[in-house]
């Protein structure tokens, strides 16, 4: 299955384990947490409008390439407000979903990304569309 991805870039100092967000994630309407540990979370989403079930996966990426990607994105996008924070980011949260369920997962993705952004001062980048959120 083809997947879509959003990244929430932040500094390592502000990185928090995903278990810290269990209370926030559990408030998401139509969603239930099916798996959760420090570096991985999976949420099952039921979309009342379409009647479809989908899932959103969130994981922590601390590999060295994250800092390189963040610097490149910051250099290529001088117009973004959080450019300085992005340029110094060295870790990220990845929010991943099956593209076939983009409509069903949009609200959940936006909610999760906002929770992570607020907690870490992160910058959200939609890899699938090539734009900042």
What's the pLDDT score for residue 1? Answer: 78
Domain that holds residue 93: 3-132
pLDDT digits (tens, 9 = 90+) for 17-51: 999 999 999 999 999 999 999 999 999 999 998 99
Question: What residues are paired with 78 via a beta bridge?
Answer: none
Counting the structural domains of the chain, the total is 1
91 by DSSP, 3-state: which? strand
The list of the chain residues with pLDDT below 50 reads none
> Domain with 30 in it: what CATH number?
3.30.310
Q: Which of 105, 107, 99 is nearest to 127 (CA)?
A: 99
* Terminal C-alpha separation, the chain: 24
């Amino acid at each position: 299955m083809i997947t879509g991805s959003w990244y929430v870039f932040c500094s390592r100092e502000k990185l928090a384990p995903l278990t810290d967000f269990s209370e926030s994630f559990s408030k998401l309407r139509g969603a239930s947490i099916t798996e959760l540990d420090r570096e991985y979370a999976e949420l099952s989403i039921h979309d009342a409008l379409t009647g479809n079930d989908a899932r959103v996966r969130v994981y922590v990426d601390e590999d060295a390439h994250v800092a390189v990607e963040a610097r490149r994105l910051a250099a290529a996008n001088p117009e973004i407000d959080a450019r300085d924070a992005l340029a110094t980011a060295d870790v990220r949260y990845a929010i991943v979903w099956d593209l076939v369920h983009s409509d069903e997962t949009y609200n959940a993705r936006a909610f999760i990304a906002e929770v992570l952004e607020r907690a870490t001062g992160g910058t959200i980048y939609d890899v699938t569309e090539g734009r900042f959120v």
